[in-house]
Structure 1
Amino acid sequence: MSDGTAYIVLFRGVGGKTQLPVARLRETLTAAGFDNVATYINSGNAVLKSALSRGEVASRVAEVCARDFAFDKDVHVATRAEWRALIAANPFPEAVETPTFLHAALLADAPEPARVEALRALAAGGEDIAIVGTVAYLHTPHGFGTSKLAAKFDKGIGVANTARNWNTVLKLDELAAAADV
């Protein structure tokens, strides 16, 4: 077992015109000194292992991606332990049966309660939002793409964030477990 911590790295806003080619991203992060680098789908997800702190990992990854990919959007980082806690704290266990209708968003800071309530007021037909620490969980049982709550979430929450559906959350946990050797 090598020294260090397994981290989940989420890049905000990947897709469309903003691309981080996964093979090149893996190579670049490995060359930057990170261990056990893996990526998951072309939407800005990576896992790696490092002896650096979470903040140092975020800074170094952002620096490397700005230099090598002209990527200047937010980079969110969680330890494997934090990711496991995110999974365990899911306030919508009934939603895991349809994992594309459950999303977890890492938040840079705790949002203002009034903003959360304004978003909750948009919820329709069993939808809901819950904040646990600096994670927002969105349950959209009739589809994320048709939800007004989901459509207004990004700007409405009022803090930098990036969200992943539950399938991706679980796959990143699996990849982080493999990286943590």
Structure 2
Amino acid sequence: MKPVVHLILFRGVGGKTQLPTKPLREKLLEAGFENVATYINSGNAIVRSRMRRDQVVSTVAAICRKEFDFDKAIFAPTLGEWDELIAANPFPEAAAEAPTTVHAALLDAVPAGENLARLLAVASEGEEIRVIGKVAYLHTPNGFGRSKLAEKFDKWIAVTNTARNWNTVLKLSELGHACGEKP
């Protein structure tokens, strides 16, 4: 099997929950992952591997439980899937003008329509949410931290998710492509 680049996105890193980047990189390399990179101390890593996605996730999860007492959801989209997520962004103008106002949230399942309707009901003027496949795109033009939509999103979407702002989405793509190009 040809090596595949996976973006490893951890749910719930920040505040009290930390995954120290240098030790995480070291443990991922010890586990046999290639071209390991991390991006800021907020739950992002890039690896190349010949393992299937489920093996990548289970290996990373085992490392995180044992080494860092971390036991939250882990998403592992391929670089190709990440490129598709970027291409599908329904808010490209907003992402170009103010990338911190656009977020992409990976979802472990498609959310119920009534959950989306409930979220849209609390959205301020100009705020939007669109779900494409298993990705929710949020546009919060007045700021993510001040948004009722963003505040209620995690609980009301009612599916496990992990979100990144558009700056991070693009940086992870850049790192992923660099990872795939290294021998």
How high is the TM-score relative to the length of structure 2?
0.96
Q: Using the alignment, how far apart are the partners of 1:15 and 1:147 within structure 2? A: 19
Name the CA distance, whole Å, in 1 between partners of 2:139 and 2:125: 11
- Listed one character per residue, the Cα deviations across residues 107-130 of structure 1 (whole Å, up to 9, x for unaligned) are 001000110111011111200000
Counterpart in the other structure of 1:149: 149
Deviations 1:120-164 (A, max 9, x none): 111112000000000000000000000000000001001000000
Match of 1:45 in 2: 44
Q: Percent identity?
A: 58
Q: Does 1:126 align with 2:119?
A: no
1:12-161 alignment runs, 5 A limit? 12-96=11-95, 97-161=97-161
Paired residues in the alignment total: 180
Counterpart-to-counterpart distance in 2, 1:84 and 1:21: 27
Q: TM-score, normalised by structure 1?
A: 0.97
Q: Which consecutive segments of 4 or more residues in structure 1 shift more than 3 A?
A: none
Query: Counterpart amino acid of 1:150?
Result: A
Give unmatched runs, 5+ long, in structure 1: none
Q: What do residues 27-69 of structure 1 show as CA deviations (whole Å, max 9, x unaligned)?
A: 1101111000000001000000001111111111011111111
* Letter matched to residue 28 of structure 2: L
RMSD of aligned residue pairs (Cα, Å): 1.0
